[in-house]
Amino acid sequence: MTASSGFQPENLPASVRNAPDLSVTAQANAQPGEQTAQASEPSWRFDVTDVAQFQQLVQESNRGAVIFALWAPHSPASVQMLEQVEALVNSAGGNLLLAAVDITKTPEIGQAFQIQGVPAAVAVLAGRPAPLFNGPVEPQALTEVLGQVVQLATQQGLAGGFEPVLSEQEKPLPPLHQKALDALDCGDYAGAEAAYTQALNENPGDTDAKIGLAQVHLLHRVSSLTLADERARAAADATDIQAQLNVADLDIAGGHIEDAFKRLITLFKAVGPDDKTRVRERLLELFEVVGSADPRVKKARAALMMAMF
């Protein structure tokens, strides 16, 4: 696959054909591990996960050039291209914004750009797309093309001035979430529960608060338990529901996810109708703690459904 001819130097106005030196050719050639070491530096990469974000970034192109880099995990060439584009965009210090698009997750964006495969990139300026390439590109050529994009954007009055994209660790937490974490740091489980509960009352769709509340409940339950004692109780009496629930909690807290789920599903099958609700509710709460997207949760949820019928 060869580079697209849709955005070549000869297609640019004469006044902007001399690309600026972005001073990152060496960085663009760096190995992934070398770039990882620089992960703490400012980044202007935004990972696009849905069409709404795509539309928002197209709107951002009214401020400056947005580079949409289309890639896929199964394509090493596209992963390498994405790393190189990211290094170049970051070196521009806010003149450019990178929109990384995994086409296996959002194929409709690739269709919107009429991209046939990856690696590929499209520059959007003031809402207008300009194909950069569709296929592998040498680092020097990539540097030159992005430099020309910067100059063209400047000529059109699109100076950029984009703020760095904050990582998940850098983003400030909502006040009630921070209040809950502060309470947890002090061992104040009731305070943490109250903060997350208030957050859910104000926004029932707050998934993070729902997960946080489930985690607080788990931490509170296991705070007074001793693993050896609970395992001994559970081993001595397979019908001791509380002991089995306690061991499952301790297993989740200790990272033994599958063991916990297996224990409770086995317990669910063994107990009478009056106790099934109690076991099922604990399982559902532990599913929240681990996360609904976790494959172990999906597997356990399916096993629970089969056990119910």
Considering the domain architecture, whether residues 224 and 257 belong to the same structural domain is answered as yes
The neighbour count for residue 242, using CB atoms within 10 Å, is 11
Query: How sure is the predictor about 171, in pLDDT bands with cuts at 50, 70 and 90?
Result: low
Considering the domain architecture, whether residues 215 and 151 belong to the same structural domain is answered as no
Considering the domain architecture, whether residues 185 and 247 belong to the same structural domain is answered as yes
Q: So what's the pLDDT on residue 29?
A: 37
Query: How sure is the predictor about 166, in pLDDT bands with cuts at 50, 70 and 90?
Result: low
Which residues, in sequence order, are CB contacts of 228 under 8 Å at separation 6+?
none
Query: How sure is the predictor about 309, in pLDDT bands with cuts at 50, 70 and 90?
Result: confident
End position of a domain, from candidates 124, 155, 186 = 155
Q: So what's the pLDDT on residue 35?
A: 39
Quote the crossing angle between the two packed helices 175-185 and 207-222, to the nearest 10°. Answer: 10
CA dihedral 165, 168, 169, 173 (to 10 degrees): 100
Query: How sure is the predictor about 47, in pLDDT bands with cuts at 50, 70 and 90?
Result: very high
The verdict on whether omega for the bond into residue 107 sits within 30 degrees of 0, i.e. cis, is: no
Q: Residue 165 domain-assigned?
A: no
End position of a domain, from candidates 123, 155, 187 = 155
Considering the domain architecture, whether residues 295 and 242 belong to the same structural domain is answered as yes
Q: So what's the pLDDT on residue 237?
A: 92
CB 109 within 8 A of CB 102: no
Considering the domain architecture, whether residues 238 and 107 belong to the same structural domain is answered as no
Considering the domain architecture, whether residues 95 and 224 belong to the same structural domain is answered as no
Q: Residue 168 domain-assigned?
A: no
End position of a domain, from candidates 127, 155, 183 = 155
Read off the pLDDT of residues 79-137 as tens digits, 9 standing for 90 and up.
999 999 999 999 998 999 999 999 988 889 988 998 888 999 999 999 999 999 998 88
Query: How sure is the predictor about 175, in pLDDT bands with cuts at 50, 70 and 90?
Result: very high
Considering the domain architecture, whether residues 245 and 304 belong to the same structural domain is answered as yes
Q: Residue 232 domain-assigned?
A: yes
Rounded CA-CA distance 201/178 in Å is 16
Domain coverage including residue 27 = 9-155
CATH number at residue 219: 1.25.40
Total domains in the fold of the chain: 2
Query: How high does pLDDT run on average in the chain?
Result: 83
Q: Residue 186 domain-assigned?
A: yes
CATH number at residue 75: 3.40.30.10
Considering the domain architecture, whether residues 88 and 218 belong to the same structural domain is answered as no
Question: What is the average pLDDT across 256-276?
Answer: 93
Considering the domain architecture, whether residues 125 and 235 belong to the same structural domain is answered as no
